[in-house]
Amino acid sequence: MTATTSLTHQDIPLVFSAEVADALHAGRPVVALESNVITHGLPYPDNAATARKVEEAVRAGGSVPATIAVESGKVVVGMTDADIDRFASTPGIPKVSSRDMPVVLAQGRMGALTVASSVVAAELAGIPFFSSAGIGGVHRGADRTMDVSSDLIQFTRSKVAVVCAGAKKILDLGLTLEYLETQCVPVVSYRSDDFPAFYCESSGFRSPMRLDDDEVIARSVENHWALGNNSSFLITTPVRPEEAIDSDEVDAAITEAMAAADRDGIRGQAITKYLMRAVDAATQGRSSKANMAVLVSTAEVGGRLAAAHARLRAESRSA
């Protein structure tokens, strides 16, 4: 009988940029970033410029950015300027979630990573921190549709600290928080009492925990994994007040758009884009500007918290 072997995570090819490889080797802080915002956000060249602003914000926070994508059967950890331009200007690059990664890697295609696939790649690459403007969650009407973002499922499987501005208002944020509690995923709000809602300062729900100190957050992340958990640690940071969109204005637009979507039979993956466009129209484009602002402000906080975490690990090694 011929013996067979299976691939392991060590068999997935990772291609690091020189900067990211050097930082990881030296124990310097690195923040993983999703590439989906390049391919499925703004038109070229605004999408490339925004991706660079997000990377600059991570640097301003004291860390090295590592925007992650898949190409030619490899996970690219730390996209170069040329990579960003190529992804930003190439039409039709698919959005790749964690369920899609094995197939897209096998096919050798280009793929832009979402939150779920980015945390998978970040853990493989040994990057403990990931930043995103907003995570997915439980959708409104999930009791009928079973529409729950794969982001939440992946958080139960990947040991990565996720820094974000909460979840989008179009979701059922109460059920999203309930799901995270049920799955024992810690949710900590950084210098805020409330769970934020993307470009709205508050979702209307109080955060399970508030922490104001960078070092305490770093120790909390380490404690979570030291206790034997193989899951993510969620850290939320609200949009700056001057860049926020009024919650009542967004809620009114969502309510109207939900009724229209139900009438027109729009559901599944199409509903998110439909609702976001409706909110953008209702706010005369202000939500798109706020979206960009959230990407940048969250990345800066992610860089700062990753730096605190790297200092903690360095102190532990030298003790």
For residue 45, whether the previous peptide bond is cis, meaning omega lies within 30 degrees of 0, is yes
Encoded tokens for 110: 């280009």
3-state secondary structure of 14: strand
Distance (Å, whole) CA 304 – CA 143 = 38
Closest CA to 127 of 25, 10, 253, 237: 25
Distance (Å, whole) CA 65 – CA 300 = 10
Quick one: DSSP state of residue 58? H
DSSP assignment string, 68-130: EEEETTEEEES--HHHHHHHHH-TTPPEE-TTTHHHHHHHT--EEE-HHHHHHHHHHHT--EE
Which is catalytic among the residues 168, 169, 243, 300? Answer: 168
95 is catalytic: no
Q: Give CA separation, 248 vs 85, 105, 168, 199, 253, in Å.
A: 37, 43, 14, 12, 9
Quick one: CA torsion of 212, 295, 234, 141, rounded to 10 degrees? 130
Distance (Å, whole) CA 295 – CA 72 = 28
**Dihedrals phi, psi of 244, to nearest 5 degrees:** -80, 160
Half-sphere CA count of 115, side-chain side, radius 13 A: 24
Closest CA to 165 of 226, 234, 92: 234
Which is catalytic among the residues 34, 71, 123, 243? Answer: 34
34 is catalytic: yes
- The residues assigned a catalytic role are 34, 168
